Chain A
Amino acid sequence: MLVLVALCLALSSGITVFAQTPDETLRSTLGTLREASFPDKEATVATIADSGHPGAPFILTAFLEDRLYSRDSDLAIVIVKSGETETFDLVDPLTQADAGNVPKDGFTKIGTNNRLRRVLRTTVARFTLASPDAAVRLSAVQNMLRSLDDQTMDLLRARAAIETDAAVKDEIEIGLAMSSLDSGDAAAKLVAIDRLSDRVTTDVRNRLAAFLEKNPDGSFVEADDKVRAAAASAVAHIDNVRSFYSGVETLFFGLSLGSVLVLVAIGLAITFGVMGVINMAHGELMMLGAYTTYVTQLLMPDSIGLSILVSIPAAFVVSGLAGVILERTVIRFLYGRPLETLLATYGVSLILQQTVRSVFSANNRAVETPAWLSGTWQINQALAITNNRLYIVLFTMLVFALLLAVLKRTRLGLDIRAVAQNRSMARAMGIRTQRVDAMTFGLGSGIAGMAGVALSQLTNVGPNLGQSYIIDSFMVVVFGGVGNLWGTFIGGMSMGVVNKLLEPYAGAVLAKIVVLVALILFIQRRPRGLFPQQGRSAEGH
């Protein structure tokens, strides 16, 4: 009879077990938490984790963050989403659906202690480590590395063995290697140092360098000679790699500064180099380009990213037209009198500055940077390149290539070169030299306008924008050799690189002074620049 009863009970309980859905099982497991002791809770956590229920990570995270409560009225477990005010926003633990907003009283928190929290943290970490999203895994690894213990290290080792994503695997191995540096075992240290030597971040380098330090009494911090030697060579390797990349970075900074110089000078290379006009209003033509960018953004406020592309041709047209008007009204009276063009165009630059001041006010205007221009490109741990610098370099290359194409491949370019080489012969051959003059000046001015678009992304757009670049642009043209576009290109790039190479030693201002003085001395040695014009047309200048 007793046996029968026991059998019946066992059967019935077995039947109920089998009859329960996974949801019900989990719910009843949770139900035990309210009255459970800490060791019991630990066992329950393991049960929940092993249940394979999709809601398990969510519940355990809430538990870890002290957001798991038991409702006093029906003893049901709920998760509190937020409880900053008088009330709780409740969430159902299984379905994660909202379960209403209720007053705070009438709930009992499921308490935790240190030991339980550690278990919870490990369990949650195991879940996130298994996440299908590599970014989630990576941040989980980074979180775990901050507080390593034996358990988490085991977890990480297990994950590293099956990890498919290279970045995550790398992160785990580096973290484990860093931690084994702190262990007493010399062999483990050697393995770790070997693993770390191709990791070029500052914290790894500093950690390895710490092995080489001495205690106050003169003995080494690290007793083992082999470990010290390995650490020393690893540090040397890391330093080598880092200094190589910082050299690459300096070179890139120099090229991007050089690109700006080339960009601001290249329009002048046309007006000054080809036509012999000292256009002091060149800077103001760039300023017009920058303001064109500003106006374009005002006209299309919803698509800033597109507006910058629109403003490039717009600035070319605006500044180019201004250049044509300038040539027709002022400069054509002054051909062959370069010093006089200097004075007259300086007057024009004052008028343009004041016009901008009257129209847009004397304050700087804010030109927004489109999202696709900002941000950085992280090439590796030691080298990151900002996108706007990269785009400036590309833009300069593009403008330069276009200009070369116009000069070499179009009818206008042919006319421009013909007039520059021999004006009267060109006229005799039927070229309308006056028209070509205006077009040439317009071309140079238009390029100045395009440079202005680039400058609007780099500096303040204000009435004085042009003045700050005019001396640089003249120096680039003279340095490169008047009348030689490639000279301008190479001259500008090398000025930029030299400037950036000097900056770490001399500071920005002194570097600039040194470059200016060096250029002055250079022009004394070679008055016609890097690439002097050869032949008969050289006499004209």
Chain B
Amino acid sequence: MSTSRFFGPGEAGPNATTDRGGTVFLAIVALVAVGVPVLNQFVPSSSPFHLSPYAMTLIGKYMCYAMLALAVDLVWGFCGILSLGHGAFFALGGYGMGMYLMRQIGTRGVYGNPVLPDFMVFLNWTELPWFWYGFDRFWIAALMMVMAPALLATVFGWLAFRSRVTGVYLSIITQALSYALMLAFFRNDMGFGGNNGFTDFKDLLGFDLQAGSTRAVLLAVTAIALGLSYVACRAIVASRAGRVVRAIRDAESRTRFLGYKVETYKLWLFVISAAIAGIAGALYVPQVGIINPSEFAPINSIEMVIWVAVGGRGTLYGAAAGAVLVNYAKTVMTGAFPEIWLYALGALFVLVTIFLPRGVVGLVRRQTS
């Protein structure tokens, strides 16, 4: 692979001693975790400092995307695995949360069935499918939000890495995977609500999802999860295993000849990354209030890679910043000039790959040094 061209030996990602960018990132996340709920809950809505619930939801969404970008950067930036299947892991986590939330609706649904969600009653189902069992308990559901994507990543990664499917081929089959999952989840017989997915959620752990306070807490939890994910990812890449992973990225065959089990390292990294993506998806769903099969769309997975590329791959905090930047731009531009947005996004893809192979972070670093 030719990725080594962009990451010389001395500049291969964050360094444990001088992670200034990471520190700034964690500080911002901490500030958001405390500040945003306070500005929303305790500042009166007449004050100019008041944050509307809409803005808070938006920030929560961006942070979920940032977590997802961390997950993509972990495998792409540090191991050279360009996965176009992370949208699927994200969506699977989201579906896990969605299933829990659906079971919580209980008799408050349109049909008032205490066990079956509305769409099943609508399809004339009489029994809950087996894979829905246990989702009324949060701890089982929470386990599944992490385990479902992780399990898929394990099976898929084990097959793919063992037979040494790399580079472009891996990207294409991960894309095919998320496409196949999207088609599958669109089917009504799958038992996941078909086209419409899940929506009309009522409460989470007994707290009303429409209440401002619940949403504020949810945002704080998302910020904390983002911070923890960053710390975990950094710990992984700074560890000895992380160095092996970077070695795999730069010279896979040589690393294998040195005696490292390349497949095992790749698999672990891929699974951890998928789990983080799943958690991001699980936090995303209660905040936006809907999950449907379009989350599996291959275009989403490609967009995630762009966030990372824009922010700067192999830097973690850069990836998170890229996710926030691109999505903020998307929010602003689709509102103000909807017809220009796709031109801008397209141009961003082209310009960043040609002129900014190390993203915004690379640009900032070049300016400062």
Contacts and interface: CB of A to CB of B under 8 A. Distances in A.
Contact of B159 (A342, A344, A348, A524): A524
Interface stretch (A74-82, A208-216, A403-411, A507-515): A507-515
A349 to B, nearest CB: 7
A516 interface: yes
A370 interface: no
Given A475-B172, A509-B186, A339 B177 contact: no
Interface in B180-230: 180, 183-184, 186-187
Given A348-B346, A475-B172, A340 B339 contact: no
Given A344-B354, A347-B350, A509 B187 contact: yes
A278 interface: yes
Interface stretch (A42-50, A251-259, A329-337, A436-444): A329-337
Interface residues of B, number: 45
Interface size class of A (residues with CB under 8 A): 35 or more
B353 interface: yes
B2 A513 contact: no
Contacts of B183: 509, 512-513, 516
A344 B353 contact: yes
Given A354-B342, A513-B184, A527-B164, A339 B350 contact: no
Contacts of B173: 478, 519-520, 523
A343 B2 contact: no
A461 to B, nearest CB: 19
Contacts of A351: 342-343, 346-347, 350
Interface stretch (B40-48, B276-284, B302-310): B302-310
B357 A339 contact: no
A343 B349 contact: yes
B169 to A, nearest CB: 6
Interface string B285-329: 000000000000011001001100100000000000000000000
Main secondary structure of the interface of A (DSSP, over half): helix
Contacts of A525: 163
Contacts, number: 119
B347 A471 contact: no
Given A342-B171, A471-B176, A475-B176, A524 B349 contact: no
Contacts of A517: 180
Interface string B159-178: 11011110111011101110
Contact of A478 (B156, B172, B177, B180): B172
Nearest to A344: B353
A350 interface: yes
A42 B367 CA distance: 111
Given A353-B342, A354-B339, A509-B187, A346 B163 contact: no
Interface string A370-397: 0000000000000000000000000000
B345 interface: yes
Among B156, B171, B172, the most chain A Cβ lie within 10 Å of the Cβ of B172
B62 interface: no
B358 to A, nearest CB: 12
Given A337-B2, A471-B175, A527-B163, A357 B339 contact: yes
A492 to B, nearest CB: 15
A338 B172 CA distance: 12
A474 B172 contact: yes
Contacts of A337: 2, 5
Contacts of A475: 172, 176
B353 A478 contact: no
8 contacts: A338-B167, A339-B167, A342-B302, A347-B346, A347-B353, A471-B175, A509-B183, A527-B169
Interface of B: 2-3, 5, 82, 156, 159-160, 162-165, 167-169, 171-173, 175-177, 179-180, 183-184, 186-187, 298-299, 302, 305-306, 309, 339, 342-343, 345-350, 352-354, 357
Interface of A: 278, 280, 330, 333-334, 336-344, 346-351, 353-354, 357-358, 467, 471, 474-475, 478, 509-510, 512-513, 516-517, 519-521, 523-525, 527, 541
